Structure 1
Amino acid sequence: MTLGCQMNMSDSERVASVLDAAGCEKVDTEEEANFIGILACSVRQKAIDKVYSRISKWNKWKNKKNLVTFISGCMLPDDKEKFLKLFDIVFTMPELPQLPRMLGEYGISNPLSLIAQPQSPVDEIKLFWKVKPKYDSTFEAFVPIQNGCNKFCTYCAVPYTRGREISRPSEEILDEVRILVHKGYKTITLLGQNVNSYGLDKNGEEMSFPELLEKVGQIGEETDHEFWVYFTSPHPRDMTTDIFHIIAKYRCLGKQIHFPLQSGDEKVLIKMNRKHSLAKYRESMVALREILPQATVFTDIIVGFTDETEEQFENTRKVMEEFKYNMAYIAMYSPRPGAASYSWEDSIAMEEKKRRYAVLSEELAKHTYAYNQSLIGKTLKVLVREHDRKDGYLSGHTEGKLVIRFKSSDENLIGQIIEVKVTEAAKFSLEGERIAVKSLQ
């Protein structure tokens, strides 16, 4: 079971690889398993609540059968301490190469598969990155480029769960990208807590994030294979216009930017310790729109942060109206142990947080609907991902990561990039009809 962000999803692919090497076989249901676990996320309380719910159920099963449980992922020290009493095996993601030894203690695998003991946290994460992932998909892949965070936003626990920023060697990243392209993958997402601070921890001994993007773009130019490369998440403080120019230059670099706002009020940004001003964010957004007018823009926003006034909340709504995002992941603030704001009074009532959430959701929907309506009649390239909930339809996403469905039952299209003409638009999705291949000739 994987909880949390795309980084945890990527981590789960490396966990699967280690378990395969240890001789474990995947089963279809939890009830069939003799070894079961969770990649947790201490960043959100709801995710931690799910952990306790699952382990309570699993530990009851131990009365009826042999069962070994494990937990890893993003864990705060306090959470990890509690998990040690509930799970059989508790390990951090950088400790993954040592998992075979831990499994061997329970007779699950051969402890001789143990990788050499690392000497430091940097050594640990380097060994972790060398574990070849078992990709969950045959056409979509995550490639970690960086781990940890040095920003210390007051609401965030990531620096305490992931540690300080460490950049993965660019040679390893580019090799993994080349392999994925050679295998025919259609989307590749470069992952990190702060991807655009990539290389800053290497004191000039490693390329910068723009330089890394340029190299990835060049890989795309070396092949006729069509694919899209994305990245998440960048930080406004480290966002530079050369990133936008590089994305515009290379066809394989997806024209979609995830650009977290968190708040549209200057004082709240300071209290959040975001280390950038609204003016800096706006400057980047103006440049983005000028250099990449076709790009869609997604963002993250927190409502109800400690002592957020109605006026400060309204400033966020106004900024949403100004930037007209294509998607916003809106979260109601909840204090997390380890984060600086945990010791502050959570002064905004839940009912008020819900109201503000609804207001921003309505603001978002107004702009997404207008944008989606403007696409009616246009033909877009679409990566087909799965069967849609509507019978007889498949769904996927555009290069800009907009969800679209079209009438078809041809499963062979899943994992392919095709062309779809938009015929209908809703607030958060599109509908269209497939353009027949013969009509493109």
Structure 2
Amino acid sequence: MKYHLVTLGCQMNQSDSERVKRVLEGMGAQWTDDENDANIIGILACSVRQKAIDKVYSKIANWNKRKASQNLITFISGCILPADKKKFLKLFDIVFAMRELPQFPQMMSQYGITTPVGLEKDNLNPKEEMSFFWQVKPKYNSSFEAFIPIQNGCDKFCSFCAVPYTRGREVSRPSQEIIDEVKSLVEKGYKSITLLGQNVNSYGLDKKGNELSFSQLLEEIGKIGNESSQTFWVYFTSPHPRDMGRDVVEVIAKYDCLAKQIHLPIQSGDDKVLIKMNRKHSVKKYRETVSVIRELIPQATLFTDIIVGFSGETEEQFQNTRKALKEFEYNMAYIAMYSKRPGAASYSWPDDVDLKVKKERLVLLSEDLAEVAGSYNRNMLGNVYSVLVRDTDRKGGYLSSQTEGKITVRFASEDQSLIGQIVNVKITSASNFSVEGELVEVSELVE
């Protein structure tokens, strides 16, 4: 019995896929890279983006055609809007919410696949279901990088986003489970660990007084780093500017293992647009948070998310976003043209910024980003950085790596045993979005 899983969307879906794989392999299924060779085939969907949903329909159409000539069981989970779920019930054999994953073996047994793995957990509320979901041990996709979900759902209800309708309200994972998973990964030699949630810095707010806050959770993880002889970096994504307090930045500054890289989505540099987006923060509030980061962690890199062409966005409002990008000097910005998301509040609003204008704004912002990111990268020249080697580079004879601040660094080497290791590289050239360097032996480092 072989299985194949298609994962769409964000890092949370990537993390969820590791638990889905664990359950399937616990049932005796074996992974295959070729979906045409699979007896069980599934997809983790992303209703947040229409293109991802279109891909689901394309996939299931092909899979259902195959059923005429072979035994095949199909399933779907992930971020699914109620309207999409109704349609998928007619197309897939099994449709389930991710929090119901522990019950997946029972669902499969209806198709003649029996397993002792299933858990009898009937009539659970969503929070209880998430608790059982998190107890499923993941089958990590990497031997040196790992994702740890710490929270599910979102209470912010940004008008452009469907996540509260696909994943529900915020539920925090028990902190001891998170801490234990971090310890286990560190002991196994993992070098990069990312805490995941739709709004990670609201962690614990749904259990106020009975659970750690986000800064307290980071403090406990920081202590693990202090007690370990291993070098590792802990990241988190994504925080919300409204909940990003000074206490979080102070803890990051305090512990070496807490990576000096902050992903802080601004979405727009105009207050009126932010209000329409229901972001619940102003540019002034955002500026204050960035000032704290620059004060306490001056070496930190700053990443963000920006939407151009949101419903009703004027040229003046777009120019305010350009000003913000230059002011905050981002190292990376994930810039997207606004498109209607079924299920989001703004879906019924006019999408009144012409596509040509959206594309022009995307290009202008990308050029602005290249300028500020390139300036930072050029300042890296001549300096030595510790980097995590992640893979071979598309440039032959080179390896690709990242600094603690997630700046991409390539260097000449064909020694693939370095992949998954932290090494030192001296920067010799720089472009707008990456740098190049040469491997430095430990004995060459100047004290």
TM-score range, shorter chain: over 0.9
- Residue 111 of structure 2 corresponds to 106
CA distance in 1, matches of 2:205, 2:28: 39
Matched, 1:89 2:94: yes
- Residue 298 of structure 1 corresponds to 303
- Residue 436 of structure 1 corresponds to 441
- 1:48 aligned to which of 38, 53, 59: 53
CA distance in 1, matches of 2:183, 2:404: 20
Matched, 1:266 2:302: no
- Residue 202 of structure 2 corresponds to 197
Amino acid at match of 2:48: V
- Residue 400 of structure 1 corresponds to 405
- 1:327 aligned to which of 324, 332, 338: 332
CA distance in 2, matches of 1:280, 1:411: 45
Q: Aligned-pair distance for 1:110?
A: 2.0
Q: Deviations over 1:17-61 (max 9, x none)?
A: 100111111112111111111111111111112111211222222
SS of equivalent residue, structure 2 residue 141: coil
CA distance in 2, matches of 1:142, 1:150: 22
SS of equivalent residue, structure 2 residue 326: helix
- Residue 423 of structure 1 corresponds to 428
Matched, 1:5 2:10: yes
Return 5+ residue gaps in structure 1 as ranges. Answer: none
Contact 2:400 2:411 in 1 (8 A): yes
How many residue pairs get aligned? The number is 441
> More displaced, 116-125 or 241-250?
116-125
- Residue 65 of structure 1 corresponds to 70
Matched, 1:217 2:218: no
Contact 2:398 2:410 in 1 (8 A): yes
- 1:124 aligned to which of 109, 122, 129: 129
TM-score of the two chains, using structure 1 as the length reference: 0.98
CA distance in 2, matches of 1:136, 1:94: 20
- 2:149 aligned to which of 144, 147, 152: 144
Q: Aligned-pair distance for 1:118?
A: 5.0
Contact 1:101 1:111 in 2 (8 A): no
SS of equivalent residue, structure 1 residue 113: coil
Identity %: 65
SS of equivalent residue, structure 2 residue 31: coil
Matched, 1:249 2:249: no
Q: Aligned-pair distance for 1:111?
A: 6.1
Q: Deviations over 1:114-159 (max 9, x none)?
A: 3432521111000000101010000000011111110000010000
SS of equivalent residue, structure 2 residue 212: coil
Amino acid at match of 1:344: W
CA distance in 1, matches of 2:118, 2:277: 44
Contact 1:118 1:124 in 2 (8 A): no
Query: Residues 158-173 of structure 1 correspond to what in structure 2 (within 5 A)?
Result: 158-173=163-178
Q: Deviations over 1:364-384 (max 9, x none)?
A: 011111111110111001000
Contact 1:104 1:111 in 2 (8 A): no
- Residue 37 of structure 1 corresponds to 42
CA distance in 2, matches of 1:355, 1:380: 36
Matched, 1:207 2:250: no
Amino acid at match of 2:193: I
Taking a change above 3 Å as real, the CA distance of residues 152 and 220 of structure 1, as seen in their structure-2 partners, is same
CA distance in 2, matches of 1:229, 1:125: 23
Amino acid at match of 1:434: L
SS of equivalent residue, structure 2 residue 30: coil
- 1:135 aligned to which of 140, 143, 160: 140
Contact 1:264 1:315 in 2 (8 A): yes
Q: Aligned-pair distance for 1:391?
A: 0.9
Q: Deviations over 1:218-265 (max 9, x none)?
A: 000001100000000000111111211111110000000000000000
SS of equivalent residue, structure 2 residue 7: coil
> More displaced, 273-282 or 53-62?
53-62
- 1:410 aligned to which of 415, 423, 432: 415
Q: Deviations over 1:56-103 (max 9, x none)?
A: 222222222111111110011111111111111111100101100111
Matched, 1:374 2:379: yes
- Residue 184 of structure 2 corresponds to 179
Taking a change above 3 Å as real, the CA distance of residues 365 and 130 of structure 1, as seen in their structure-2 partners, is same
Amino acid at match of 1:423: T
Contact 2:27 2:117 in 1 (8 A): no
What RMSD, in angstroms, separates the aligned Cα atoms of the two structures? 1.1
- 1:383 aligned to which of 388, 403, 419: 388
Contact 1:383 1:396 in 2 (8 A): yes
Return 5+ residue gaps in structure 2 as ranges. Answer: 1-5
Q: Deviations over 1:394-427 (max 9, x none)?
A: 1011100011111111111000000001111111
Q: Aligned-pair distance for 1:112?
A: 6.3
Matched, 1:240 2:257: no
TM-score of the two chains, using structure 2 as the length reference: 0.97
